[in-house]
């Protein structure tokens, strides 16, 4: 009998992370809800258990090396890692300063590498890592620091895939477009009608859309897929009459 997979999802307290934790649990995985806010972590773990799934919490800040060591060291095996934790801010290029870039890279890039470095030591052959990039890497105004960081994730994704291939560990990424999440609602430039004008499919994405893509890339169905970035953006990246 195949043992139950253990999946770690960072930033799992809301939005895409929450939807991913719920999806992986519904697929039969034991999910580690990794989240810096203990109340959010407990709430999501409770949702999973109420639905008949299996979950536990790991309260941690992905930029805290000591917390990462403690959280990861207590797990003897990790089959799936979803590097979802991240930050976003809106700021015109001329207002950006070095610390804006440093913070964006610390959370969105360095933490991905540091979490992954610790996890692969406990990941068996057949394991899978899914990183979160963004459709924004193809262009957006007032997000230079975010775009730079998420572009770095896309490159890091390919490098990790090559580094871990001989261990039988696959590494892929998902690049979401405009997704209806709490993070989107907090954006100071959010105009849903403007987003919709640039969406060929005529709607914003839902967290479950991204969770489905992550679940596929983490599954045995994608056993011959590694180093790829899957755009899940409702066609926004196609450009044409819907954008530029």
Other beta carbons less than 10 A from residue 78's beta carbon = 21
In a domain, 237, yes or no: no
How many whole angstroms separate alpha carbon 55 and alpha carbon 45? 5
Contacts of 174 (CB under 8 A, 6+ apart): 130, 131, 132, 133, 210, 213, 214, 217, 229, 230, 232
**R_g over Cα of the chain:** 17
Tally of structural domains, the chain:
1
In a domain, 236, yes or no: no
In a domain, 118, yes or no: yes
Which CATH number does the domain housing residue 38 bear? 3.40.50.720
Burial 180-190 (b: 16+ CB within 10 A, else e): bbebbeeeeee
pLDDT score for 136: 94
pLDDT score for 244: 40
pLDDT score for 200: 85
Between 207-218 and 15-26, two packed helices, what is the crossing angle to 10 degrees? 50
Indicate which residues carry an active-site annotation. Answer: 146
In a domain, 31, yes or no: yes
Return the residue matching tokens 């969105």.
108
pLDDT score for 198: 76
Q: pLDDT by residue for the chain (244 residues), tens digit each?
A: 778 999 999 999 999 999 999 999 999 999 999 999 999 999 999 999 999 999 999 999 999 999 999 999 999 999 999 999 999 999 999 999 999 999 999 999 999 999 999 999 999 999 999 999 999 999 889 999 999 999 999 999 999 999 999 999 999 999 999 898 876 666 665 566 777 777 888 888 999 999 999 999 999 999 999 999 999 999 888 876 554 4
**How would you classify residue 28: left for phi > 0, otherwise alpha for psi between -120 and 50, otherwise beta?**
left
* Strand order from edge to edge, sheet including 6-10: 54-59, 30-35, 6-10, 80-83, 128-132, 170-176, 229-232
pLDDT score for 106: 98
In a domain, 235, yes or no: no
pLDDT score for 243: 47
In a domain, 238, yes or no: no
Residue span of the structural domain in which 11 resides:
6-230
In a domain, 92, yes or no: yes
């Amino acid at each position: 009998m195949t043992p139950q997979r253990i999946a770690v999802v960072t930033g799992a307290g809301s939005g895409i992370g929450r939807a991913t934790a719920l999806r992986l649990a519904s697929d039969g995985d034991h999910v580690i809800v990794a989240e810096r806010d203990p109340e959010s972590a407990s709430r999501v773990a409770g949702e999973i258990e109420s639905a008949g799934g299996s979950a536990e919490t790991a309260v941690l800040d992905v930029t805290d090396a000591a917390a990462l060591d403690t959280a990861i060291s207590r797990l003897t095996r990790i089959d799936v890692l979803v590097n979802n934790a991240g930050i976003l801010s809106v700021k015109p290029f001329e207002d950006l300063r070095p610390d804006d870039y440093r913070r964006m890279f610390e959370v969105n890039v360095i933490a991905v590498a540091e979490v992954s470095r610790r996890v692969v030591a406990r990941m068996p052959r057949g394991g899978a890592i899914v990183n979160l990039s963004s459709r924004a890497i193809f262009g957006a105004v007032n997000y230079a620091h975010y775009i730079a960081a998420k572009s770095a994730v896309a490159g890091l994704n390919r490098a990790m895939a090559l580094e871990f291939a001989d261990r039988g560990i696959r590494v892929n990424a998902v690049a979401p477009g405009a997704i209806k999440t709490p993070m989107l609602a907090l954006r100071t430039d959010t105009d849903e009608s403007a987003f919709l004008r640039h969406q060929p499919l005529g709607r914003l994405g839902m967290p479950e859309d991204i969770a489905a893509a992550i679940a596929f890339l983490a599954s045995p169905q994608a056993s011959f897929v590694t180093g790829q970035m899957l755009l899940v953006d409702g066609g926004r990246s196609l450009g044409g009459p819907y954008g530029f």
